[in-house]
């Protein structure tokens, strides 16, 4: 790609690929890690003109930042690196809660800088809002990191419209990352509008419904034994079959259009507004290329209406977690 498409990151003037690369699955949650293959994929993404990479300190835990940092270091100026803090994990990988305390923010940032091997984090997210720390205090500490030159731009993940407004009043928020896809359409009700109004980029994670919207998963047995989706409510019992019916509607339309189900699902997300971007995760070059081709897919009003009819807000059976 000589001139890959770009969308603005908030009001920063920085331009990012509409379909970036989520790196979590390279190190955690989806089975065996293969660092050599993942490194090759990260280089391939840069070669394809993709410049938006998403990681977090808790992926691994701590190993994904090292992988991403090492792979991108030689071409640092071509990459917008986003990482996150706030979900605390122990040495054994066990979850220890959410922390948004200012002293934790500072320590977490220093840890991420060291693992990534960079001087500055481009986009630093609070991974989950800490119910026990006012968001103003957390974002105040994050704003100090910007002043110190350790971070360029700030983001939030899975925050409510009220929390976003309160945070944005302390320091401009450039991105909100939240799960959003054809089977998790809840953000359309208020979050998308809040972000548009405030000039915040909406970064959709799990845009393919954790792989379900690709149509490749037909049975719970399709998952590796250590794949976390085996225990996810949407992949259990009769929820599984109900959700399969939704996927079949996507697949039907995709086949008629001559694209893959994944490309249709990603194109639908990008149609939600110029302030929407997405970060599908993969460890395969072929999947990455398939996802990128969604940049060239446009949906007609009739096709959008078909998807509204078959996959309305709240259509998916089972909770997200």
Residues noted as catalytic = 59
Q: What are phi and psi for residue 21, nearest 5 degrees? A: -130, 115
Let me know how long the chain is: 321
Quick one: which of 103, 174, 179 has its CA closest to 144?
A: 103
Structure-token pair, residue 315: 């259509």
46 to 78, 201, 204: CA distances (angstroms):
7, 21, 20
245 burial (CB, 10 Å; 0-12 / 13-18 / 19+) is: exposed
Structure-token pair, residue 3: 């001139």
| Distance in angstroms (rounded) separating the CA atoms of residues 41 and 241 | 33
| Distance in angstroms (rounded) separating the CA atoms of residues 59 and 93 | 9
Query: What three-state secondary structure class fits 318?
Result: coil
Contact 280, 22 (CB under 8 A): yes
Structure-token pair, residue 84: 């996150």
Quick one: which of 236, 217, 245, 240 has its CA closest to 30?
A: 217
The residue whose two tokens read 């360029």 is 152
Contact 31, 303 (CB under 8 A): no
């Amino acid at each position: 790609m000589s001139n890959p498409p770009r969308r603005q990151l908030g009001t920063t003037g920085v331009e990012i690929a509409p379909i970036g690369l989520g790196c979590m699955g390279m190190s955690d949650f989806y089975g065996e890690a293969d660092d050599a293959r993942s490194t090759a994929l990260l280089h391939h993404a840069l070669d394809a003109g993709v410049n938006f990479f998403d990681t977090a300190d808790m992926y691994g835990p701590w190993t994904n930042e090292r992988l991403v940092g090492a792979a991108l270091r030689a071409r640092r100026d071509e990459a917008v690196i986003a990482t996150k803090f706030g979900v605390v994990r122990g040495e054994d990988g066990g979850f220890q809660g959410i922390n948004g305390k200012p002293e934790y923010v500072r320590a977490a940032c220093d840890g991420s800088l060291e693992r990534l091997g960079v001087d500055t984090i481009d986009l630093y997210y609070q991974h989950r809002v800490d119910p026990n720390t006012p968001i103003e205090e957390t974002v105040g500490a994050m704003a100090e990191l910007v002043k110190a030159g350790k971070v360029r731009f700030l983001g939030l993940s899975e925050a409510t419209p009220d929390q976003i407004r309160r945070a944005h009043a302390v320091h401009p928020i450039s991105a909100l990352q939240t799960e959003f896809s054809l089977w998790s359409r809840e953000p359309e009700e208020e979050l998308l509008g809040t972000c548009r109004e405030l000039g915040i980029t909406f970064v959709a994670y799990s845009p393919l419904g954790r792989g379900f919207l690709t149509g490749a998963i037909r049975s719970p047995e399709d998952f590796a034994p250590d794949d976390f989706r085996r225990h996810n409510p949407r992949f259990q019992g009769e929820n599984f079959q109900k959700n399969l019916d939704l996927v079949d509607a996507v697949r039907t339309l995709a086949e008629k259009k001559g694209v893959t189900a994944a490309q249709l699902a990603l194109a639908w997300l990008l149609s939600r507004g110029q302030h929407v971007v997405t970060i599908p995760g993969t460890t395969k070059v072929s999947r990455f290329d398939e996802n990128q081709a969604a940049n060239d897919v446009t949906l007609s009003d009739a096709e959008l209406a078909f998807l509204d009819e078959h996959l309305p807000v709240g259509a998916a059976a089972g909770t997200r977690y």
